[in-house]
Amino acid sequence: MDFAKTKALFHLPEGMIYLDGNSLGPLPKATAARVAKTVTDEWGDMLIAGWNKAGWMAQPTALGDRIGRLIGAEAGHVTLGDTLSIKVYQALASAIELNPDRKVILSDTGNFPSDLYMAEGLVGSLGRGLELRTVAPEDVMASLSKDIAVLMLTQVDYRTGRMHDMAALTKAAHDLGIVTVWDLAHSAGALPVDLSGCNADFAVGCTYKYLNGGPGAPAFIYVAPRHISTTRPALSGWLGHAAPFAFDLDYRAGTGIERMRVGTPPVLQMAALDASMDIWADVDMHALRERSIALSEIFIAGVEAACPDLRLASPRDPNTRGSQVSFHHPDGYAMMQALIAQGVIGDFRAPDIMRFGFTPLFIDEGDVGHAIDILAAIIRDGTWDQPQFKQRAAVT
Ligand SMILES: *Cc1c(COP(=O)(O)O)cnc(C)c1O
């Protein structure tokens, strides 16, 4: 794969090294014109006819298939809409019903809080003695047992990049009759995922991180073919109905993955995502993974050599790490702000983690080398130790 070519497809502000594509992917150059066209030619000129004529109604499943290729999903088993938190709720609610006699949802303490909050909310609403149990990430395998209904995990830890073995955990869960829900927020577009090969049950993820769909881009949901006809959608909105335009008073779930749709799709966001999926259509995920590991390894070696005060927070073995690298430092927040002021964009996650994403579609060795040099200079010269870098903003 020619990554210089993909880099040229993104708008990257002059002088900026963007190591935050794991949090909000950058703008593909084709996106603005694509969205403008949807606004003027479709919304503007077609108005309501756009639902049929411009294919707006089919967008969630058409785009679902484009994403499905990246995550090893069977065709026709991924759809889009809503935000990831909503999709977590939806997948979990359906998964619980597949194991009606069990009471425990197992997750880990490295999970993204929203996933845990959504699970807590659902447990509270269902009120039939369900319990959310969390264990340390490394204890998940040993904590699987026959009282667990659903294992709900995020494959790659948002803070450290630590990666669960999806195939092994799914198999161990199935051997005990446990249904799995995988969150691919930091996996989709970051590394090869093989949902079908892992025999996964449910999966969800977002499209504004590695997939470059833009802020507010819709989330996706996958349901395994063997479950789809028996999966009951808890969020039974009209667009998941078998015949939305029959306007029946009773809900009847649509046949396939359509049933996981809820309401009106965000058409403009879908247009933006479609433009970015044009880039992803040609990406070989194995080549991308190889390059992501190579870039991450250069970064770790360079930072450890130049900044001995920073302590690696990510797994050292690249095979158990996603596409991000994090370091601990008690003054990590101020250091990250000083770094951002010099055009190297990473982010900070409480309590002390400086996080950097490696996204080969637009980051190359030159960028990684510059980022190391600038970080080393900031620490060596103590430039970070100034009041303006210690002021906490709302979004870190
Ligand atoms: C980014 C992320 C979210 C965010 O959810 P939204 O509803 O899209 O805001 C949820 N879960 C995980 C694991 C994430 O990484």
Residue-wise pLDDT for 178-187, tens only, equals 999 999 999 9
Residues 62 and 154 in one domain: yes
Residues 169 and 145 in one domain: yes
Position 394 scores a pLDDT of 84
Q: Which atom of ligand 1 is nearest to the CA of 206?
A: 8
Q: Which among 208, 222, 327, 333 is annotated as catalytic?
A: 208
At 224, the pLDDT band (50, 70, 90 cuts) reads very high
* Residue at 35 is within a domain: no
How many domains does the chain divide into? 2
Q: Is the pTM of this model over 0.95?
A: yes
113 Cα distance to chain centroid: 14
66 is known as an active-site residue: no
CATH number of the domain where residue 373 is located: 3.90.1150.10
Q: How far apart are CA 172 and CA 15, in angstroms?
A: 48
Residues 310 and 244 in one domain: no
Q: What is the whole-number distance in angstroms between the Cα of residue 392 and the centre of ligand 1?
A: 22
* Residue at 198 is within a domain: yes
| pLDDT tens digits, 253-280 | 999 999 999 999 999 999 999 999 999 9
The residue among 253, 280, 307 that closes a domain is 280
Is a pLDDT exceeding 90 seen at residue 396? no
Residues 290 and 382 in one domain: yes
Position 393 scores a pLDDT of 84
Residues 185 and 295 in one domain: no
Q: Tell me the residue range of the domain where 350 lies.
A: 3-28+284-390
At 370, the pLDDT band (50, 70, 90 cuts) reads very high
Q: Maximum CA pair distance of the chain?
A: 69
Pocket of ligand 1 (CB under 6 A): 83-85, 112, 114-115, 154, 158, 183, 185-186, 206, 219
209 is known as an active-site residue: yes
Q: What's the start-to-end Cα distance of the chain, in Å?
A: 34
| pLDDT tens digits, 102-117 | 999 999 999 999 999 9
- Average pLDDT for 241-262: 97
Position 209 scores a pLDDT of 98
Q: What is the whole-number distance in angstroms between the Cα of residue 154 and the centre of ligand 1?
A: 10
CATH number of the domain where residue 60 is located: 3.40.640.10
Q: What is the whole-number distance in angstroms between the Cα of residue 84 and the centre of ligand 1?
A: 5
Nearest CA to ligand 1 atom 2: 185
Position 105 scores a pLDDT of 98
At 392, the pLDDT band (50, 70, 90 cuts) reads confident
The residue among 280, 312, 329 that closes a domain is 280
Is a pLDDT exceeding 90 seen at residue 242? yes
Name every residue whose Cβ is closer than 8 Å to that of residue 290 and which is 6 or more positions away in sequence.
none
At 356, the pLDDT band (50, 70, 90 cuts) reads very high
The residue among 232, 255, 280 that closes a domain is 280
Average pLDDT, the chain: 97
Name every residue whose Cβ is closer than 8 Å to that of residue 47 and which is 6 or more positions away in sequence.
none
| pLDDT tens digits, 299-319 | 999 999 999 999 999 999 999
Q: Which among 201, 210, 355, 362 is annotated as catalytic?
A: 355
Among 86, 111, 112, 153, say which to mutate for ligand 1: greatest number of ligand atoms within 8 Å of CB: 112
Residues 175 and 321 in one domain: no
Nearest CA to ligand 1 atom 4: 84
Q: How far apart are CA 77 and CA 60, in angstroms?
A: 11
Q: Which atom of ligand 1 is nearest to the CA of 209?
A: 1
